[in-house]
A and B are shown apart, each in its own frame.
Chain A
């Protein structure tokens, strides 16, 4: 019997492991998009099969027309304002309606020819006035 020479177990060279993982890391770092989506949240009304007009108090109408002029106010008492004035006008109306014991609901109605930019601006103003109850009239 010849004695077998003791075989050395080869060491696994792990020094390049760091380089490989670095490479992968850099790849994922580059491909990751951190930019988050921002915007104005809105919940569309349920699909209306038969719209039953409900009598609600405290509704404030905002109209936007093709010439991008804005009317705001309670029903029948709308007046023309600029988009930037909506916030202050709404805060006033909010106080007025709250004094009567109701809570404000903003109803926005836009004409088909008006610009989307102005519609979003109106929504922005309404949000600035801290009003959550917004409806989109169709």
Chain B
């Protein structure tokens, strides 16, 4: 039994498969990465209890409204009329589009209503009021 350990070399972990493993991780992250395209406006969105997760980043269009009633879609300030045309284009290119409304909590409902009407005009009716979880 003593002779058993005589020729036993200290086993080294083979690193040959390391690139493969890293490649796999790399490909996973490459596929799942969606680059943030737009920065939007600085808004303080309200907090709610029932904030639901929205799946599918690729189907979300963002619409920002800040405290000064500026409307921003795709990092361009626009009027409600322009919102209609751009949302119509977005909806026709992707019928599953959901408009995420990032509206400052101290906005008046007047501007919210105006934007919603322009969304109705564009028939982009699935919206989400972006909120934080309380």
Contacts and interface: CB of A to CB of B under 8 A. Distances in A.
Contact of A47 (B36, B52, B108, B123): B123
A43 B55 CA distance: 16
Contact of B54 (A36, A47, A116, A120): A36
Q: Report whether over half of chain B's contact residues are helix, strand or loop; otherwise say mixed.
A: mixed
Contacts of B103: 116
Contacts of B113: 110, 112, 138
A114 to B, nearest CB: 5
Contact of A38 (B53, B98, B127): B53
Nearest to A111: B109
Interface residues of B, number: 53
Q: Report whether over half of chain A's contact residues are helix, strand or loop; otherwise say mixed.
A: mixed
Nearest to B130: A39
Given A28-B30, A43-B125, A116-B107, A38 B54 contact: yes
Contacts of A40: 48, 50-52, 128-129, 131
B126 interface: yes
Given A39-B51, A110-B109, A44 B25 contact: no
Contact of A116 (B52, B55, B104): B104
A18 B126 CA distance: 45
Interface string B81-122: 000000000000000001011011111111011001101110
Given A21-B26, A120-B131, A36 B53 contact: yes
A116 B112 contact: yes
A43 B129 CA distance: 10
Contact of B105 (A32, A41, A42, A115): A115
B1 interface: no
A37 interface: yes
Given A18-B15, A21-B22, A121-B46, A115 B29 contact: no
B54 to A, nearest CB: 4
A33 interface: yes
Given A38-B133, A39-B52, 18 more contacts: A17-B19, A37-B53, A37-B60, A37-B130, A38-B51, A38-B54, A38-B132, A39-B129, A40-B52, A45-B120, A46-B123, A111-B109, A112-B108, A112-B110, A114-B108, A121-B48, A128-B50, A138-B117
Interface of A: 14, 17-18, 21-22, 24-25, 28-29, 31-33, 36-47, 64, 110-117, 119-121, 123-124, 127-128, 136, 138
